[in-house]
Amino acid sequence: MWMGSIRMDMAVGIIIGGAFTSIVSSLVEDIINPFLGIFGGMNFDKLHWNIVGDVTLNYGKFLTAVINFLIMAFVVFILVKALNTAASKLAVKEDAPEEKKPTKICPMCKSEIAIDACRCPHCTSILDAKAVEAFEKNL
């Protein structure tokens, strides 16, 4: 049953990832590249090398794709880091585990038992004060 939930989570992640890719591509193409163009032009799309005749090696498009990927990876990193920080601050703090009740040792069988026990659950000895004192005197 939980496997369907994982598949649904993955499907939602892929859909959101596709939408996020278009947002980041728009960010890079429409905002960052024109801003970088002010400092000397960062449009690598037209860079190419003519090998033979009409055959060209368009390494500029590859450089643009690499830069877009790096910017997208940085944006995703910042987004995930912000979400993790927010989640850790909003997470419900777990209470400290319950403290164990103090225990005592059964004088007959030397087992650890609850402090308020009147009979040992291991050896079934009666643990009232008179019986314990009588037993200790006989040792």
Angle between helices 59-90 and 2-26 (to 10 degrees): 130
Given this model, what pLDDT does residue 62 score? 83
Tokens matching residue 133:
């004192």
Per-residue pLDDT of the chain (139 residues; tens, 9 = 90+): 455 566 777 777 788 878 877 887 787 778 877 776 676 656 677 777 888 888 888 888 888 778 777 877 887 788 888 888 888 888 776 666 666 668 888 888 888 888 877 788 888 888 776 666 666 676 6
pTM of this prediction exceeds 0.75: no
How high is the pLDDT of residue 53? 82
Supply the mean pLDDT for the chain.
77
Give the model's pLDDT for residue 1.
45
Q: Output the pLDDT for position 4.
A: 56
Pairwise CA distance, residues 22 & 40, whole Å: 26
Q: Domains (ranges, CATH) in the chain?
A: 6-90 (1.10.1200.120), 103-138 (no CATH)
CA distance 8 to 80: 20
